[in-house]
Every structure is written in structure tokens, then in C-alpha cells.
Amino acid sequence: MSSTVESIGRMSLASLALAILSISSSHADGLQATAEIKGCTNPAISGTATLVEQVTPEGVKEVTVEMKVKGLTDGKHAVHIHEVASCEPCGSAGGHFDPGPFGQSRPDSATDEVPAKDINHPYHMGDLINLEVKDGVGTMKHTTNRVTLSPGRLGLFDDNGSAFIVHTNADTYCDQESDLKKGCAGGSRDACGIIRPAP
């Protein structure tokens, strides 16, 4: 009799734990954010981006980013999430989003007198794939588990927020064994968009 009661108790505790896990996961599941993309110096560049967070059955948070931009030159353009929610000027968005005590948010070390040893591109949390532009219209869709819309160490809505930067050139992902070549992360900044929670 006592073993039956203990068994029921264990089942109840397990059910409660699963229920709590389900509630915490569903709280994050479906969170959304948006960004209005504007040209850094060219007013003809405009677009939008959406971000949707989902939680996998294992509890991993994934964010799907979809972006559409008009007015860029045809070809590939690097896209990154940058570490500050500021676009005026575009340089005020800072480096690539990469939280942590040893985050090195610069994409390359070509301007350093002594090259940094810990440049992290393309492994910053905010590094995404290229936007591909055809006939003046660029599109990109990418799912990442490097950032979250929900609170936490990888959350985009920290004290100073975050922003998208679209660069002039393609990201070659800086695949060099030693010092990274200047511009390998996309070069100068063509457009910017502050990431905001969706209402």
C-alpha cells in the first residue's frame, strides 16, 4: 500500500514539473519583434524585419529573422545584429551583439597596431547570413539560437537594446587562420534598424 502511495506521489511530482516546464516554455514561445530598416545616408533604402521566437521540445529558444529591403545594390550584403539600439548615425549601433565578459564585438582587427587575438567573427551571437538582393529587392530568412527575445544572457532587449546593420558588401565570414582581413564582415554600413518588441 505504501509503495503505491509513493508511486502516485512520484508521478504527481513529475507531472507538476512537466507542467511548470510547459508554462515557462509557452511564455517565451511566440514572442515577436520588428525593425524598420532605413538607409544610413541613402533615403532610398528602406525595409522591414520581423523576429519570432519559438521554443524547441528540448527547451532551446530559436529566433527566426525575416528581412526585406529595397534600394540596395544587387548582390549579397552582410547582416548583423549590433549591440546598441541606435541608428543616428549608423556607427552608434556599436559592434556586433556578443554579450559576455570576454565578448569582442569588433568584426576584424585590421585597424589594430597589434592584432587582437580574440576577434570572434563569425561567431558573435549577432552574426547572421547575407541578405541577397535581386533587381533592387533584398530578402533574407534565417533561424538562430544565438539570441533570444525573452530575458536572459542572450536577450536582445538588454539595457541598451540592439539594432540590425546591413552592410555594403557580403560577409565572407572572415575565414582566415590568422589576422582577419579588413572588410571581411561586410565593410561599411548601408542601413540600420532598431529592434523593438512587437505590440
Cβ–Cβ < 8 Å for 169, 77 = yes
pTM: 0.79
In this predicted structure, what is the pLDDT of residue 185?
87
Q: How many CB atoms lie within 10 A of CB 181?
A: 14
User: Rounded to the nearest 5 degrees, what angle is found at the Cα of 125, between the Cα atoms of 178 and 49?
Assistant: 125
**Regions in the chain scoring below 70 on pLDDT:** 1-28, 101-120, 176-180
Residue type at position 158: D
> Three-state SS for 10?
helix
What HEC string does 58-107 produce? CCCEEEEEEEEEECCCCEEECEEEECCCCCCCHHHHCCECCCCCCCCCCC
In this predicted structure, what is the pLDDT of residue 74?
98
Report the alpha-carbon distance of residue 157 to residue 175 in Å, rounded.
30
The CATH architecture one would assign to domain 31-197 is Sandwich (2.60)
Report the alpha-carbon distance of residue 106 to residue 114 in Å, rounded.
14
In this predicted structure, what is the pLDDT of residue 107?
61
> Residues 91-108: pLDDT tens digits?
999 989 988 766 566 665
In this predicted structure, what is the pLDDT of residue 176?
67
Domain ranges of the chain: 1-28, 31-197
Report the alpha-carbon distance of residue 133 to residue 9 in Å, rounded.
59
